[in-house]
Amino acid sequence: MQANEDLNEQRATVDALFLSQSTFESELFMIADHSELADVFKNAAKSIIDRPSAQATVNFRTLTSYAQFRIGGCVIALKEAMNEEITCLIREEAGFSPIIVKEVQEDEQKQSFVLAQAKKYFIDYQSMFKEAIADSFFDRIVAAGEVVTIGRAIQEVIDGVDHYAPVLINSQTGASIVRKADQIWMRLKQAKQTKGKDINAALENVDRLTKKARGINNNIKAIEDAKALTLEAVQAMTLDELKEIVINEDGSRTDKKRIFQFVPAGEIAIYIAEQMDRGRRGGRNEIQKSEYKRATTFYENCNINNTEKELANKILMFNAELPKVEEALAKAEQKLATINNRTLDSFDDSLIKIRRAFVDNIGRMRV
């Protein structure tokens, strides 16, 4: 008895889902307003045409002939995807009985509602679906290692086949924009090179700004670490260690050099400079003397330049510069992401015209 009551409650809840378009959309797509659907389908269109049922009708990555093309395949695939979402909503999120899921799948009225919605969404957002189909068209050509492997479906789009008219034509004049698939293949090949150069340039800029931001952060930390140095800690270091911090450029000593370049003026800087001068005077050969002299000058400059006021000014300068560099880095990363996300055809004016003609004319019948 309780089980039947539970099922009836679940049925009532599910029935409410199909009462209105607004309820259906808010629950299924998790949106607050119908206007948000544009973003939903902008992101979902590609996954819809990649579904198995659509691969045989609208997806040029897998179509063997343009004669097989059926734009209605988008509606069928969209209905399938929506039914999967409904099942997920009922079974996984609401935890309802599998019986309810089966009833929804077999309910002609509910399935008619889903199909009607799928048709409506396709009509409202068909440009997004056609853009996704255009992506599959260009992807098919790009995937061809050489011209002869492009496949006849692409040339049929150019020439037309059976009841389908040529697609890549100027909508106003009716003239062909391109006559052979290898022309598109060559332009995509060049566009790939252009995109690669743009990506490399953007990567270099991101890398440069990343290093600059890291360097500023390291300098800020180095000043704090240098101010925390004690005379006792420095006195525990050998002459050779203090010299090598300046002379040797390997990784570990570079980090120490960053700290020691900010040694505050005063007792510690004077002590190290004096020790380096002592090392110079006792050097075994001219090379060693020259190294100690270089280290002496380094630490003497610390004593001259690293006054308390100067170090405070450096921290202020670094803290003022860091947000600007981080902002530039964020913009550079966004630019890199934008370039990465651009389709190859967007890097060539002729390919842009071909895409527009494809989206405008795909599926157009012969007169």
Condensed to tens digits (0 to 9), the pLDDT of residues 177-188 reads 999 999 999 999
How far is residue 70's CA from residue 74's CA, in Å, rounded to a whole number? 8
Neighbouring residues of 86: CB distance < 8 A, sequence distance ≥ 6:
17, 28, 104, 114
3-state secondary structure of 22: helix
100 or 68: which leads in pLDDT: 68
Neighbouring residues of 92: CB distance < 8 A, sequence distance ≥ 6:
none
Q: Would you give the distance in Å from CA 363 to the centre of its chain?
A: 32
Sorting pLDDT into bands at 50, 70 and 90, what band is 10?
confident
pLDDT, one tens digit per residue, over 114-165 is: 999 999 999 999 999 999 999 999 999 999 888 878 889 999 999 998 889 9
How far is residue 67's CA from residue 214's CA, in Å, rounded to a whole number? 57
Long-range contacts of 120-123 (CB under 8 A, 24+ apart): 121/37, 121/41, 121/78, 122/74, 122/75, 122/78
pLDDT at 64 over 80: yes
pLDDT at 32 over 90: no
pTM above 0.85, yes or no: no
Q: How many CA atoms lie within 13 A of 55 on its CB side?
A: 7
pLDDT, residue 91, reads 82
Between helix 181-227 and helix 126-143 the angle, nearest 10°, is 90
How far is residue 246's CA from residue 276's CA, in Å, rounded to a whole number? 11
- Beta-bridge partner residues of 245: none
Unique residue bearing structure tokens 């062909």: 176
pLDDT, residue 58, reads 95
Query: Which residue type, as a one-letter code, is found at position 153?
Result: A
pLDDT, residue 366, reads 67
pLDDT, residue 89, reads 87
How far is residue 216's CA from residue 321's CA, in Å, rounded to a whole number? 8
pLDDT, residue 363, reads 87
Per the CB < 8 A criterion, the answer to whether 140 and 154 are in contact is yes
